Amino acid sequence: MATILADTSRTFSEYLLIPRLTSKNQQVEAVDLSVPLSAVEKNQTPRFRVNIPIVSACMQSVSGTNLSIALARQGGLSMVFCSQPIDSQVEMVRQVKTHKAGFVQSTSNTTADTRLADVVETMQRSGHSTIPVTSDGTASGKLVGIITDQDFWEFEDDLENLVRDHMTAMGNVIHGSEGITLREANRLLHQHKKDCLPILDKSGNLTALVFKKDYVDHQRHPLELLDESKRLCVGAAINTHDYRERVPALIAAGADTLCFDSSDGFTEYQKEGISWIRENFGAEVVIGGGNVVSAEGFDYLVEPGGVDFVKVGMGGGSICITREQKGVGRGQASALLDVAERRDRYFEETGRYIPLCSDGGLANDTQIVIALAMGADFVMMGRYFAMTEESPTPKTAINGQMYKPYWGEGTHRAQNWQRYSDEMSSRKMMFEEGVDAYVPLVGPLSEVLETTLYKLRSTMVNVGADNLSAFRERAILTLVSEQSVVEAGTSNVFQFSRNRELPDGDWGGGS
Ligand code: MZP
């Protein structure tokens, strides 16, 4: 007969952390959130680290170009989805890698013969107060001047006047030459007390703009995740069908990590894929594998020549119905605890540390904290990012509230890539393992993440830890009864408001 595990399948919300001694010198701001993303030998430096323990899911409605740029700027990493043609995934990776933080292409331009009235209209529409004036009105035309909202008075000057009569003409425009470093560009802005610096090529054509506000922004985000060439870092998802073509293209485009995207990674298909990548690209490439929910699955993927990190989780995702549809999966906390225990033993036995990623089902900041305490080095989330301004889907108004579409990779909508059935890859998907839904829009990623990370650092201080490895070591968790969950909420009081969160403390109504 079947083996029945003695343990109940448990979720994160069933656990609480016990506070430990906090020393006087522990400061929330000083807590280090960086973690390795590559396997690391004892006392060695990992080949790849992230500055915050958060990555975005390999999903169409999550990890596009804008989100990848926004998350890397905060210190995390996106896994650009592979349920798309190789060319378009490669283009997304390339756009992140070539995104020159600080150098932007001008999106509002005009010509010298344009009326001020049209410039006012452009400024109002775009929200831009500085407009380059080029020979042909394009972002790459010859620069002939700059016009700003300081160069005319909208209600005093005749708006039929032409731009040429008000602009700062080229002879007086402070500019940089193509090839200038961001540091030099910022020095020019500072020296000349300017807000915007146009960058020109040898022929005087406009190539980019550098803004003082972006410099300030950069100073506010010191955790930006950059490679050795100071380019933003980005990961890329891969599948077990076309890795022979996809992987070389992604590596050539500069992807910093690869990550198998599969709900069940405990398969010979994945093992073959990992071996093929190691044989063809060596031990340096950072490869993530999974998903698994047991020690047995972990062992299979990390055998010599195996993966760098292992993703844990099956059926817990907010849009996932795998457990209902197929009866496979495991409570996320039980899965993580089982795999983390095995990972720690594996480290003792071999001296090789394998980072773990807790993937899916995180419904609020507390659950991120518990996942990291239980042994995850970092977490992967879909819904959390789908709700931000930067996710790739359009904003949609429903009953006066703003939402964004969010769908699973196991839906018909994403089905072309059939990640759910390797053995049936050429057949039509027979049933869905995910749903097509909407999530509330919560605002820019930087704002949401700031709160999450502050809470995480604050809890780590409660436990007396100033980095995530110490946090795992020191964490003592207790199971909670239903009554203590009730006790944890407010009681017998009437609340008028409770900051940006919904009453149940979730980011958007539970999972
Ligand atoms: P969540 O953060 O929205 O709760 O979960 C995101 C995770 O759900 C993904 O990283 C992936 O592992 C999983 N996922 C994606 N699509 C499906 C599906 O269609 C799914 N069932 O389970």
State the closest ligand 1 atom to the C-alpha of 381, by its place in the atom list counted from 1: 2
- Work out the mean pLDDT of the chain and round it to a whole number: 91
Q: How far is the CA of 464 from the centre of ligand 1 (A)?
A: 33
320 contacts 360 by C-beta, under 8 angstroms: yes
User: Is residue 50 classed exposed, middle or buried when 0-12, 13-18 and 19+ CB atoms within 10 A define those classes?
Assistant: buried
Instruction: Report, as an integer, the average pLDDT of 111-140.
Output: 92
Distances (CA, A) of 243 to 87, 135, 169, 325: 13, 47, 54, 28
Q: Does residue 381 have its Cβ closer than 6 Å to ligand 1?
A: yes
pLDDT classification of 498: cutoffs 50, 70, 90: low
| Cα angle for residues 141, 146, 150 (degrees, 5° grid) | 155
Residue identifier of the C-alpha nearest atom 22 of ligand 1: 320
Residue type, 95: Q
Per-residue pLDDT at 427 exceeds 80 = no
Q: How far is the CA of 373 from the centre of ligand 1 (A)?
A: 21
Q: Does residue 148 have its Cβ closer than 6 Å to ligand 1?
A: no
Q: How far is the CA of 321 from the centre of ligand 1 (A)?
A: 9
Partners of 467 in beta bridges: 32
Q: How far is the CA of 441 from the centre of ligand 1 (A)?
A: 18
117: which residues sit within 8 A by CB, 6+ positions away? Answer: 159, 160
State yes or no: is 196 an active-site residue: no
Mutation test residue for ligand 1: of 260, 291, 319, 433, the one with most atoms within 8 Å of CB:
319
Distances (CA, A) of 153 to 144, 145, 148, 176, 509: 21, 18, 10, 28, 48
Distances (CA, A) of 124 to 131, 145, 266, 356: 12, 20, 55, 48
Per-residue pLDDT at 293 exceeds 70 = yes
State yes or no: is 345 an active-site residue: no
State the closest ligand 1 atom to the C-alpha of 363, by its place in the atom list counted from 1: 4
Instruction: Report, as an integer, the average pLDDT of 191-217.
Output: 89
Which pair of tokens denotes residue 23? 């020393």
CA dist., res. 373 & res. 133, Å (int): 55
Q: Which residue shows structure tokens 């990779």? A: 409
CA dist., res. 303 & res. 71, Å (int): 31
Per-residue pLDDT at 484 exceeds 80 = no
Per-residue pLDDT at 132 exceeds 80 = yes
Q: Does residue 290 have its Cβ closer than 6 Å to ligand 1?
A: no
Which of the residues 330, 343, 383, 419 is marked catalytic? 419
CA dist., res. 64 & res. 392, Å (int): 6
Higher pLDDT, 270 or 432: 270
Hey, how many other C-beta atoms are within 10 angstroms of the C-beta on 99? 19
Instruction: Say what percent of the chain tops pLDDT 90.
Output: 79
CA dist., res. 57 & res. 261, Å (int): 9
289 contacts 306 by C-beta, under 8 angstroms: yes
Q: Integer distance in angstroms from the first to the last C-alpha of the chain? A: 34
Q: Does residue 342 have its Cβ closer than 6 Å to ligand 1?
A: no
Q: How far is the CA of 329 from the centre of ligand 1 (A)?
A: 13
pLDDT classification of 423: cutoffs 50, 70, 90: very low
Would you call the peptide bond into 291 cis, given omega within 30 degrees of 0 as the criterion?
A: yes
Query: Which 3-state string (H, E, C) describes 238-257?
Result: ECCCCHHHHHHHHHHHCCCE
Residue identifier of the C-alpha nearest atom 13 of ligand 1: 317
Q: How far is the CA of 55 from the centre of ligand 1 (A)?
A: 13
pLDDT classification of 508: cutoffs 50, 70, 90: low
In this prediction the pTM is 0.83
Q: Poorest-confidence range of 39-43, 191-195, 305-309, 370-374?
A: 191-195
Which of the residues 320, 342, 457, 472 is marked catalytic? 320
Q: How far is the CA of 307 from the centre of ligand 1 (A)?
A: 21
Per-residue pLDDT at 422 exceeds 90 = no
Mutation test residue for ligand 1: of 320, 416, 432, the one with most atoms within 8 Å of CB:
320
CA dist., res. 63 & res. 210, Å (int): 26
pLDDT classification of 430: cutoffs 50, 70, 90: confident
Q: Does residue 75 have its Cβ closer than 6 Å to ligand 1?
A: no
Chain length of the chain: 511
Q: Does residue 382 have its Cβ closer than 6 Å to ligand 1?
A: yes
CA 274 to chain centre: 24
Mutation test residue for ligand 1: of 12, 79, 261, 263, the one with most atoms within 8 Å of CB:
263
Per-residue pLDDT at 278 exceeds 50 = yes
Task: Say whether 485 sits in a helix, a strand or coil.
Answer: helix
DSSP string for residues in 322-342: HHHHHS--B-HHHHHHHHHHH
Q: Does residue 254 have its Cβ closer than 6 Å to ligand 1?
A: no
Instruction: Report, as an integer, the average pLDDT of 187-195.
Output: 92
Q: Which helix (H) or strand (E) holds 116?
A: helix 116-126
